Amino acid sequence: MSKIATLYRMHTDEHICPFGLKSRDLLKRKGYEIEDHLLTSREETESFKRENNVKTTPQTFIDGERIGGYDDLKEFFGKTVESAEETTYKPVVAIFAMTFLMASALAWRQLQSFEVIFIVETFIALSMCALAIQKLRDLSAFSLQFITYDLLAMRFVPYAYIYAVFEAFSGIGMLSGTAPWLFAPPALFIGTIGAISVFKAVYIDKRELKCACVGGNSNVPLGFISLTENLMMIAMGTWMLLK
CB 139 within 8 Å of CB 161: yes
Distance CA 176, CA 14 (A): 46
By DSSP bridging, strand 59-62 and strand 3-10 are: antiparallel
Distance CA 40, CA 187 (A): 54
- pLDDT recorded at residue 193: 96
- pLDDT recorded at residue 1: 55
Instruction: State which CATH number among 3.40.30.10, 3.40.50.300, 1.10.3720.10, 3.30.310.40 fits the domain covering 3-76.
Output: 3.40.30.10
Distance CA 24, CA 5 (A): 9
- pTM for this model (two decimals): 0.78
- pLDDT recorded at residue 83: 60
Judged by phi (left if over 0) then psi (alpha if -120 to 50, else beta), residue 53 lies in left
- pLDDT recorded at residue 132: 94
Each residue of 116-148: b (16+ CB within 10 Å) or e? eebbbbbbbbbbbbbbbbbbeeebeebbebbbe
- pLDDT recorded at residue 13: 87
If the chain, 243 residues long, is cut into consecutive pieces of 10 residues, what is the mean pLDDT of each piece? 87 92 94 94 94 94 93 90 70 92 94 91 95 93 92 94 95 92 95 95 89 79 85 92 87
Average model confidence (pLDDT) for the chain?
91
CB 170 within 8 Å of CB 184: yes
Distance CA 39, CA 8 (A): 7
How many C-beta atoms surround the C-beta of residue 213 within 10 A? 26
By C-alpha distance, which of 93, 165, 98 is closest to 136?
Answer: 165
Task: Count the alpha carbons within 13 Å of 43 in the hemisphere toward its beta carbon.
Answer: 0
Give CA 78 to chain center in angstroms.
25
Distance CA 243, CA 239 (A): 6
Rg (CA), the chain: 24
Distance CA 132, CA 171 (A): 8
Give CA 127 to chain center in angstroms.
14
